[in-house]
Amino acid sequence: MYCCVFFQDFAKTIPGHGGIMDRFDCQYLMATFLSYVMSGWRYFVCPVEFNNDSNRFQVDCEPSELFQLQDYALPSILESFIGWTTVRLYPFQIHSIALSSFASIMGPFGGFFASSRDF
């Protein structure tokens, strides 16, 4: 869906590697964006309980440190390139970026190993 909306296709830029590059790019952007949006809503980070008195679901908790914005210092190389000294992220975003990088790098090999029968 991302590639259709933004007309991004690395297959013409890097022949034979378009699918991997498109998947890698898309998963990083979506992991960063969605984890940021979802971490800001208590509905996604706190347990939801049903209140029989009001006949509604309620969310009432203090989010853990994983879902509270924190400042992270950038490495000096990025600092000179971007011009920022710190970045404000949820720690959960770092976790989601790590999972998306694993999925985009290892995902193509899963289909390869599942399709071959002679090992």
Q: Tell me the domain boundaries of the chain.
A: 2-62+93-106
pLDDT at 112 over 80: no
- What confidence category does residue 18 fall into, taking pLDDT thresholds of 50, 70 and 90? low
Per cent of the chain over pLDDT 70 is 70
Mean of pLDDT over the chain: 78
Query: Which of 2-11, 26-35, 46-55, 80-89 comes out lowest in average pLDDT?
Result: 2-11
R_g of the chain, CA atoms, integer Å: 20
Ranges of H-type helices in the chain: 2-6, 18-39, 42-45, 76-82, 91-115
- Indicate whether this model's pTM tops 0.75: no
Residue 92's SS3 state is helix
Cα angle at 28 between 23 and 33, to 5 degrees?
125
**Cβ-proximal residues to 38 (8 Å cutoff; 6+ apart), any chain:** 44, 45
